[in-house]
Amino acid sequence: MTAQSSNFGSTVWQMTLMGLRYLNGRRLRTALTTVAIVFGVAMIFAINLALPSMQEAFQQTITSFTGADLSVTSVSGESFPPAAVLEQISSVDQVKAVTGILHRQFSLPTLGESSLGDTTQIDLVGVDPASMENVHQFVISDGRFLEPGDSGKAVLPAGIAELAPQLGVGTTFPLITAGGLKFYTVVGLLAEQGDLAAPEIYVSLADAQAAFNQPGLINTVEVLLEPGANREAAAADIQQAVGAGFTLDQGSNDSNTLAAMQVGFAMFDVLGMLALFLGAFLIFNTFRTVVVERRHDLGMLRAVGATRRQITLLIVIESLIQGLIGTAIGLLIGYLMAQGMISVINVYATDFFHRGSLSLQFSLSGLLGAAAIGLATALIAGYWPARAAGKTAPLEALRPATPANIQRAARWSLIVGIGIMLLAVLLLLTGNQGAAGGAVLFLMGMVVTAPALVIPVARLISPLLSFGFAREGDIARSNLVRQPGRAAITASTLMIGLATLVMIAAMVLSFASLINSLADVNFSSDLILLPQSIAVYDNVIGADENLANRVRALPEVQDVGTMRYASAATADGQALQVMGIDPNEYSKVASFTVNEGSPDAAFAALGSGRNALFTAIALSTVGLKVGDDFMLQTAEGPQTYHVAGIANDLFTFKIAAIFISQTNLAADFHKTEDIMLMINLAPDADKQAALVDIQTILTDYPQFTAHLTGEYRDELANVTSGALILMYGLAFLILIPAALGLLNTLTINVLERTREIGVVRAVGGSRTQVRRVVTAEALLLGIFGAAMGVLAGVAMSYGFIAAFGTVGWEMPYFFPVAGIIAAVIVGVLLALFAAVLPARNAARLDIIRALQYE
């Protein structure tokens, strides 16, 4: 008989069968080991699914609704006077017709019966009927299209009937505008279905300009080319004609919001990776156990002719099977998690962003990526024990286990590990972005050093045990140090879990402090009027000056400060949100946190010239520093602004935003809409009465809601603490694999010592004593892991918080005392919990059979 390498498949198939049966015989352990893979893959897949769906939703480009050949918008996304641009574009060869429109997509407050039914957001499009008809002919199914001179008239897509069946030609409906609630009469229905996520409602240009408080302005030019025109060439010519302040066929996008969300999602990704890291440890540990347990089988396979490679293959296949199972379940759970995330975000989307509903989009690359990471983890973690298994001597099947020899802790692990940790500390102390790297490096250093620490640490902490455990503590210690490598891995697994806990505790403290100091500056007024969404303002309809004036006129009101908004871009196209405030009024009702100087100086700077205050994120994304001058693409073309300082508040600290004066906002961006109002009352005014008065005014401006500032702040704090509890939940999930690691190691330790335990029992050791030895062992591991976890957790939290601080946030580092105490308690409890089963098994060993066990 000769080796037929051609029939490799036969061997692989047999090994797969064997692997499946081994796993099946150890279902509980298989399930437990697989959990970490499931968890990690699920997290990563969920993020990979949810993020692109969100991206899609937030980057909807506003395409040409009118079916024109080209559309032109300003780079800033803001409105502009039509005359010059229309003139420039018409004069281009091959351009047949142009028309200017003003449109905005925005969400609707619920107005009851008379509103637009189930429609949650609309795209209000103001058109000039005369020139529009040159560019696009609408097909009307009922009534007529708009005609020159129409006012208060609207044309809707036929599909609106699905959302608001009561609307038909001749009916009227109310719509929020910057000037208050306005009624429109439906004069026609378009034959097309329309985009039901945000139906287009056509009104006259003048009506739209009134609704947005932008008289005389448009924000899009629609272009019809000559028949047979070369689109590329024409586009180039148009671009040339209008200059760099305009862009063709490109809608705005909410890259700022998206960036803010990405920060949050990155956190999930990190947790997913940590879980997989733990999963790898767990698989590694489990398969080391498996190799010891199965040494008879493996030895026998070697004796009957299996090569080393074949044995390695057997174990690798087995870990791959686990990887496959874990990955498959993980993908499934990840999909459900993504769906959950999307629906949670949808809840927020209606409450805060008014984006309408997102739908989950399946992503093959996301699936393949997550699957590959899961499988690779299993493969890599299984490979080393598999290689060790390959080295099993054939004789191991035949000889009783030789007593495990005490492996001397490798000295180099100490040297290398400490080296890595020193480097990590250096990185941490730099306090910049490298600090996050230092945090991870520190964790790795701990993992490397762990084997060398087992013996000294065990010696150090075993006296602690002498209180409850007397002699058993010493036995436990000597049991543990027999396999320092195994003890080290177990403790390292626990360390990662507990370090995550400590880190999250510290981050929560830091963030809470940051949020709190930011909230202080935003919520110092008595009352606050909020738009449909905070954080995203380009789909909001604010109010013209009438609202502020009416509020100001109330007898109990003392000061009113407002916030205005425009979008802009830097010279190289980086989007910026521009917040407009009146420094005199705003400083009476709210403030900023400033990194240098005082808020007063910051307000003073906004009082003159083209000065801008940057949020920390904005400054780092555009790569400027305080004192620089820079070019801003405004609705009035490029303008030079001066970076006057860094200022953050709760609404903007996560996004790339700048603050300028309302004077400049009106001049450069044509925006005078108030999107948020903060109100201070006279010292003796009744807050509730004032609130009622303001709510009466707001019946004309249903896009706003009035809140007592303090109450709103508390409400927000509740939402935030909900999110923080979720973070703690994740930390606890990560502890599951750590507990499994402990369980594994204790089980294998008991198995390996079966005969020894038999001897102890035979010479008179009691069940209780045997149980206590195992429990003491677990405690040693638990305390060791907790100590390392606390150390690594402090380093990691310090590093990550320092890294966050480099974006310019004032994130104080709080030593996470509560987190540390929690980590130690959790570590010890986990250890005790993991010891229950192995301890009981050890105590219940039948003496005779234990003595015969080989």
Partner 1 sequence: MSIVHTESLTKVYGDVSQPIPAVRDVNLTVEEGEFLAIMGPSGSGKSTLLYMLGGLDKPTSGKVWLRDSELSALNDDALSRMRRTEFGFVFQFFNLIPVLTAQENVAIPLILDGVPRARALKQADDALARVGLADRTMHRPTELSGGQQQRVALARALVTTPAVILADEPTGNLDSRSSDDVVQMLRRAVDEWKQTLVLVTHDSRVAAFADRIIFLKDGKIVDDNRLKGRGNADQIREQLSKMVLS
3-state secondary structure of 612: strand
Query: Cβ closer to partner 1: 7 or 359?
Result: 7
Which residue matches tokens 């499934």? 332
Which position has the token pair 């420094």? Answer: 583
Do 561 and 541 touch, CB atoms closer than 8 A?
no
CB atoms within 10 A of CB 692: 11
Amino acid making up residue 303: A
Closest distance of CB 718 from partner 1, Å:
55
Cα separation, 218 vs 749, in Å, equals 77
CB of 30 to partner 1, least distance (A): 13
- The whole-angstrom distance between residue 77's C-alpha and the CA centroid of its chain comes to 27
91: left (phi over 0), alpha (psi -120 to 50) or beta: alpha
Alpha helix segments (H runs only) across 294-363? 295-303, 308-348
Cβ distance to partner 1 smaller for residue 1 or 364? 1
In whole angstroms, give the CA distance from residue 289 to residue 439: 30
Residue with tokens 């390959």: 390
Q: Rounded CA gap, 219 and 233, in Å?
A: 23
The C-alpha atoms of residue 183 and residue 111 are separated, in whole angstroms, by 12
User: What number of other Cβ atoms are within 10 A of residue 405's Cβ?
Assistant: 8
Query: 376 or 397: whose CB is closer to partner 1?
Result: 397
Q: How far is the CB of 10 from partner 1 (least distance, A)?
A: 5
Q: Which lies closer to partner 1 via its Cβ, residue 198 or residue 314?
A: 314
Count CA atoms closer than 13 A to 229's CA, side-chain side: 21
For the CB of residue 296, give the shortest distance to partner 1 in the complex, in Å: 4
Nearer to partner 1, 200 or 396 (CB): 396
Compute the least distance from the CB of residue 25 to partner 1, in Å. Answer: 6
User: Which one, 232 or 854, has the nearer CB to partner 1?
Assistant: 854
Q: Which is nearer to partner 1, 305 or 683 (CB)?
A: 305
Give the DSSP per-residue string, 675-687: EEEEEEE-TT--H
Which lies closer to partner 1 via its Cβ, residue 5 or residue 688? Answer: 5
Q: For helices 767-805 and 817-844, what crossing angle results, to 10°?
A: 150
Q: Which is nearer to partner 1, 203 or 306 (CB)?
A: 306
Pick 299 or 497: Cβ nearer partner 1: 299
Q: How far is the CB of 405 from partner 1 (least distance, A)?
A: 13
Residue 395: DSSP 8-state:
G
Closer by beta carbon to partner 1, 304 or else 364: 304
Place of tokens 């920060």: 263
Long-range contact set of residues 687-691: C-beta below 8 Å, sequence gap at least 24: 687/526, 687/527, 689/556, 690/526, 690/527, 690/554, 690/556, 690/557, 691/527
Mapped onto helix, strand or coil, the DSSP state of residue 570 is strand
Helix (H, G, I), strand (E, B) or coil at 393: coil
Q: Please report how many Cα atoms fall inside a 13 Å half-sphere around the Cα of residue 333, on the Cβ side.
A: 17
Specify the residue, 321 or 458, whose C-beta has the smaller distance to partner 1. Answer: 321
What's the 3-state SS for 383-442? HHHHHHHHCCCHHHHCCCCCCCCCCCCCHHHHHHHHHHHHHHHHHHHHCCCHHHHHHHHH
Phi, psi of 363, deg, nearest 5:
-130, 115
Which CB sits closer to partner 1, 123 or 396? 396
Distances (CA, A) of 163 to 194, 334, 670: 12, 33, 34
Could you give the CA distance from residue 457 to residue 465 in angstroms, rounded to a whole number? Answer: 13
CA distance 723 to 460: 40
Q: Which residues bind partner 1 (CB under 8 A)?
A: 1-8, 10-11, 13-14, 17-18, 21-22, 25, 296-297, 299-310, 394-395, 397-398, 854
Least gap, CB of 510 to partner 1 (angstroms): 52
Alpha carbon 381 to chain centroid distance?
28
Question: What is the closest distance, in whole angstroms, from the C-beta atom of residue 724 to partner 1 in the complex?
Answer: 48
Q: Which residue has the tokens 């010292």?
A: 683
Taking the complex as a whole, how short is the minimal distance between the CB of residue 398 and partner 1, in angstroms? 5
> Assign residue 773 a region: left if phi > 0, alpha if psi is -120 to 50, beta otherwise?
alpha
Nearer to partner 1, 5 or 699 (CB): 5
Please say which residue, 395 or 692, places its beta carbon nearer to partner 1: 395
Nearer of residues 399 and 844 to partner 1, judged by Cβ: 399
State which residue, 258 or 751, has the beta carbon closest to partner 1.
751
Is 296 or 840 the residue whose CB approaches partner 1 more closely?
296
Rg for the chain, CA atoms, rounded: 34
Among candidate residues 557, 580, 685, 556, the one with its CA nearest the CA of residue 632: 580
Least Cα distance to 176 among 543, 528, 564, 546 occurs for 543
Q: Please check whether residue 448 is in contact with residue 416, taking contact to mean a CB–CB distance below 8 angstroms.
A: yes
C-alpha 33/C-alpha 688 separation (Å) is 58
Question: Rounded to an integer, what distance in angstroms lies between the CA atom of residue 205 and that of residue 201?
Answer: 12
Tell the residue number behind the tokens 């932008």, with chain if given: 214
Q: Look up residue 444 and give its two tokens.
A: 């790795």
Provide the minimum distance between the beta carbon of 854 and partner 1 in the complex, in angstroms, as a whole number: 7
* Nearest approach, Cβ of residue 842 and partner 1 (Å): 22
User: To the nearest whole angstrom, how small is the minimum distance from the Cβ of residue 394 to partner 1?
Assistant: 5
CB of 279 to partner 1, least distance (A): 25
Q: What is the dihedral of CA 615, 617, 621, 624, to 10 degrees?
A: 40
